[in-house]
Amino acid sequence: MAGWIGIDLGATWIRIAALGDAGGMHRIIPTPAPHALKHFVHAIRDAVILVGIPLSVGLARAPGIDSAGVICSWPSRTDWLGVPLLDIIRNHTGKFPHHMDDGTAAASWESADARHAGKTAASVVIGTGLAIGCAQNGIPMETGNGAYTPAHEHVEGWDAPCRCGKCGCLQTMLSGGGLLMVMAMNRAHALKIVGVALENAGKSLCQRYGAEQLVISGNILLNPEVKAFLVESLSHYCRENIIFSAVPQVTVIGGALLAAAIGRQFQEGAINEELPELHRVILSGLMRHMTA
Ligand SMILES: [Zn+2]
């Protein structure tokens, strides 16, 4: 195993994982204010010390970044606008990160899973916001930017205001806060509207991107009440193509490590026959070093 570092930058938490011959690490820190990045930088340095050089770095990010690697859109963390994210990571690792949107990283991870071999996977990651991406054989597909992504499609009959400025976006229902809000409503009604929203999201991703499987993940699935609610809301529909991730808490960081492992081949457009094996190696490495 060459040294791989994966970073998952979310609005509430940052995960930093490293896997190498000398061992591995997996650390979660609260996403700090951008003027207090020392814990973030320390964790990156620890990862570099652990895996050494040569290494490759993958970044799954919630914010949008411009061509110079500077954060240019992040409705839930406007304090981070202007942060030169890619330069910070390169300065502390010596490598320019292979980076992608967190939903795309998650889809890349799920599509590399042997369980979904050969299928186009769409990933729905429920977190502080909602990350959605599509990928086939680990290769990401373009699904839009900012407020023009599947996470901001309008849900019929739903009008909660979204941080993007629109109302009724899927993200305002399928996010940590959104789901808790829906679950506080009349249960039969709540089950129905979430079930319909998921079903429509699946149809839309199928029509637009040819997604054959919708994989739901995110730390929130570790909450048994939320998981049971989602299972029940889907049980009213015949949706065999909507499934739950086997290990929902590693989907995005797994995608970041996968990007590190095959980053160059991504750029060259090569389809890697070793993907299922890479997926297995990264998953077992992550599980070994995961303490939270
Ligand atoms: Zn929106």
More confident residue, 291 or 59: 59
Beta strand extents in 127-190 (DSSP E only): 130-136, 139-140
Question: How remote is the CA of residue 134 from the centroid of ligand 1, in Å?
Answer: 19
Let me know: does 199 contact 124? Beta carbons within 8 Å.
no
Whether residue 18 has pLDDT greater than 90: yes
Is the alpha carbon torsion for 229, 234, 235, 241 positive or negative?
Answer: negative
CA of 126 to the centre of ligand 1 (A): 14
CA distance 258 to 278: 7
CA of 170 to the centre of ligand 1 (A): 7
Of 40-44, 80-84, 141-145, the range with the lowest mean pLDDT is 141-145
pLDDT for 19 equals 94
Q: Which token pair is 292?
A: 């939270």
- At residue 286, the pLDDT reads 94
Residue 144 Cα to ligand 1 midpoint, Å, equals 13
Antiparallel, parallel or unpaired: β 3-9 and 55-61: parallel
Is the pLDDT at 238 greater than 70? The verdict is no
pLDDT, tens digit (0-9, with 9 covering 90-100), for 154-180: 998 899 999 888 999 999 999 999 999
Looking at residue 266, what is its pLDDT? 54
* Distance in Å, CA 129 to ligand 1 centroid: 10
Confidence of residue 146 (pLDDT cuts 50, 70, 90): low
Kindly report, residue by residue over 95-135, the tens digit of the pLDDT.
Answer: 999 999 999 999 999 988 888 777 889 999 999 889 999 98
Per-residue pLDDT tens over the stretch 242-278: 889 989 999 999 999 999 998 766 555 555 677 888 8
Mean pLDDT for 175-187 is 93
Distance 27 CA to ligand 1 centre (A): 30
128: DSSP letter? S
Percent of the chain with pLDDT over 70: 93
Spell out where the chain has E strands.
3-9, 13-20, 23-30, 55-61, 64-65, 71-73, 98-101, 120-126, 130-136, 139-140, 213-217, 242-244
- Residue 72 to residue 61: CA distance in whole angstroms: 12
Instruction: Map out the domains of the chain with their CATH numbers.
Output: 3-101+250-289 (3.30.420.40), 104-248 (3.30.420.40)
Q: Does pLDDT of 83 surpass 60?
A: yes
Averaged pLDDT score across all residues of the chain: 89
Which DSSP category does 169 fall into?
B
- Per-residue model confidence (pLDDT) at position 159: 92
In this predicted structure, what is the pLDDT of residue 270? 54
Ligand 1 center to 291 CA (angstroms): 34
Q: Look up residue 253 and give its amino acid.
A: I
